[in-house]
Amino acid sequence: MLKTTLKATIVLLLLLITSATIQAENHPTEVNSDELYNPVPAIMHHISDAHEWHLWGEGEGSVTIPLPVILYTEGNLDIFMSSDFNHGHLAVVKGNRVYSIDSHSNITESSGLKPLDLSITKNVASMLLALVVLLILFVGAGFKSKKNKGSPNGLLSFIEPLVLFVRDDIIKPNVGTNYKKFLPYLLTLFFFILINNLLGLLPGSANVTGNIAITLVLSFITLLVTNFSANKSYWGHIFNPPGVPLALMPIMIPIEIVGIFTKPFALMIRLFANISAGHIIILSLISLIFMAQSGLGNGGAFGVAPVSVIFVLFMYLIEVLVAFLQAYIFTLLTSLFIGLATVEKH
């Protein structure tokens, strides 16, 4: 078993090294020999949202999946595909309205108006893909659990222990006796983050949980669930902190109110920063090959590629762990916040 795993790892490393060096050799370098390749635009393009799903290549030779653009302008709903923008160089004419898109995927109308953008962007498409994956996994596991009379096997043997772990080791101890009320939300939260984290590690994928808008919405939902479920004891600790002298009340009450918002804010930043950092590190390590090629030629690329690919493989394994860990931490802290808001006064 060990020999088979070692052989598979060596083959994978060789394939990655070969692929990376070939890409470096074919990568168009439009810089002078004394100027290094700048990886920042490519990295920022990857971790940002877009109106098209870019897979590989640059310019006219790039391979992309066009996505629906849905714009609401002055009472008019315009729907067309992102391919109509022709890589951002041409505008799209709909009736008497002309739209253009800039390098940051911001769409404007020729009159200067910024339409309401309801488009299916790359992140939205990735979330829909995650939804399909979740439905396949859990609907399939649900049907199998009804038919299964013995110990779980196949897909169910992976899903059931994970669900039980989230329920018994994360939600139940932190929420308390009323955990069943919040179980659907917290389980959905855990697996939504986990699936999107794992999908984000695939080549050409979207950076969903590394988008601060997504983590903002998740944290805002946690804020609403926590505070709308809170009991009198929770609000009593906010507006009448026990054991605090009356002279300190004007200081403590604002601090407690600010604490209501800082807890979900920390959730938002933690998930966004950790996932984005992992993507940036992996892409930076790959970019070392292109930087070596632009500065030292193809020989430099072949020299750097093995070391770069080994570190990338190591980071990928770390990121798989981080994918599970961030889903665990977000669900754990959300459960803890809900538990603190709903616990009965002793």
Tell me which residue of 273, 335, 285, 275 sits closest to 311, measured CA to CA: 285
Q: Where are the domains of the chain?
A: 65-117, 122-342
Containing H/E element for 72? strand 68-73
CB 51 within 8 A of CB 67: yes
Q: pLDDT tier at 239 (50, 70, 90 boundaries)? A: confident
Q: pLDDT tier at 157 (50, 70, 90 boundaries)? A: confident
Interacting residues of 89 by C-beta distance below 8 A, sequence separation 6+:
none
**pLDDT digits 0-9 by tens, 99-136:** 888 877 888 887 777 888 899 999 999 999 999 999 99
* Predicted local distance difference test score (pLDDT) of residue 172: 93
**Which amino acid is it at 192?**
F
With 70 as the cut, is the pLDDT of residue 22 above it?
no
Q: pLDDT tier at 33 (50, 70, 90 boundaries)? A: very low
Question: Looking at residues 281-293, what average pLDDT do you find?
Answer: 88
* Predicted local distance difference test score (pLDDT) of residue 80: 87
The CA dihedral of 189, 193, 195, 200, to the nearest 10 degrees, is 160
CB 218 within 8 A of CB 268: yes
Helix (H/G/I), strand (E/B), else coil: 70: strand
Give the separation between CA 107 and CA 118, rounded to whole angstroms.
Answer: 11
Name 13's bridge partners.
none
Task: List the structure tokens of 327.
Answer: 């889903």
CB 193 within 8 A of CB 327: yes
Q: What is the percent of the chain with per-residue pLDDT over 90, rounded to a whole number?
A: 36
CB 209 within 8 A of CB 197: yes
pTM confidence score: 0.84
Q: pLDDT tier at 89 (50, 70, 90 boundaries)? A: low
CB 271 within 8 A of CB 218: yes
Mean pLDDT of the chain: 83
* Predicted local distance difference test score (pLDDT) of residue 17: 46
